[in-house]
Structure 1
Amino acid sequence: MRILISLLSGLLFGLGLTVSDMIDPARVLGFLRVAGGAWDPTLAFVMGGALVPMAVAWLLTRRLKAPACGGSFPEPASGRIDARLLGGAALFGAGWGLVGFCPGPAFAALTLGGVPVLIFVAAMIAGFWIAGRIASRPV
């Protein structure tokens, strides 16, 4: 049941990205282009619209003792700002700013096809794998 709910959630997320046109890198880059008079505020409205259901979900989560589909709720983040967090944020921001994709929209954009999307997703998966290898090393 958990896998089915995860699949449906992912499909709903991808559908939302597609309907809002957030799988178009030009739309995202237009949002990031604040200077120059070509700013596109669409992404701000999409993010703002996502806050409402997320706020409701967090309120409901506080009242539940356990997730509806089993398991446990994730522990809160440590709140610690370290080199790993800053490096990851910088890489994410640089990739997003240069290409206009982040992981969710990139996977959703695979439905459109195209070599640039395939190259990005392949590089992203390679980056996930490398990061996993680095993170599993003993310190």
Structure 2
Amino acid sequence: MTQKRHPLFIPLIFVGGLIFGFGLGFSHMARPEVVLNFLQFEDFGLLFVMGGAAVVTGIAFALVPRLFDRAPLTGNIYGRRLKAFDRNVLIGGTIFGVGWGLSGICPGAAYASLGVGNVTILWALAGMFVGAYMQGYWRSQRARTKTQATNTD
């Protein structure tokens, strides 16, 4: 049984994205050179931006489930989705980190970077889409092979 979403769900997601993008642009985190300076231990401003976001998120994750038994906009019950730390998490995180280091931008900031006029970031965005597509294709091929092997047994 699916829950009906609150009519403000999509508009609030949009507003949240606008606030996020504006914050990235305002803090200059949408500029790859700032991110690369952080990764080279020359500018620690990104640390404060990420730290601020982690504090707000931590407080929200701690308080909101105590105040509400269900998510206000979706009606879903709050729960934790734990994923085991396995080989796929390690390999995926490493690939993501290398891509972040090479491009100087993470996916969220890449979109905000377009808003501050950085059109060359389209190359990084194209790479992100191609990489995500390749991973999805690889996973579907792996699942198909596994299903065929199980059916022949």
Give TM-score, length-normalised by structure 2: 0.79
Q: Distance in 2 between matches of 1:114 and 1:70?
A: 35
After superposition, what is the alpha-carbon deviation per residue over 1:26-63, rounded to whole angstroms, capped at 9, x for unaligned? 111111113xxxx1010111111112221221122221
CA RMSD in angstroms, aligned pairs only: 1.7
Distance 2:104 2:21 in 1: 16
What secondary structure, in the 3-state scheme, does the structure 1 residue paired with 2:115 have?
coil
- Percent identical pairs in the alignment equals 38
Are residue 77 (structure 1) and residue 108 (structure 2) matched?
Answer: no
In structure 1, give the amino acid aligned to 2:59: V
Counterparts of 1:67 and 1:135, CA distance in 2: 31
Superposed CA deviations along residues 87-127 of structure 1, whole A, max 9, x for unmatched, are 11011110111121110000111123444211111111122
> Is 1:19 paired with 2:22?
no
Partner of 1:112: 116
Q: For the Cα contact (< 8 Å) 2:38–2:45, is it kept in 1?
A: yes
Structure 1 residue 5 and structure 2 residue 9: aligned? no
Which of 44, 51, 57 in structure 2 is aligned with 1:41?
44
Q: Show the 5 A alignment for 1:51-62.
A: 51-62=54-65
Q: 1: CA distance between counterparts of 2:71 and 2:112?
A: 27
Q: If you compute each CA radius of gyration, which structure gives the higher value, 1 or 2?
A: 2
For the residue of structure 1 that corresponds to 2:15, the secondary structure is helix
Q: Which moved more, 1:2-11 or 1:69-78?
A: 69-78
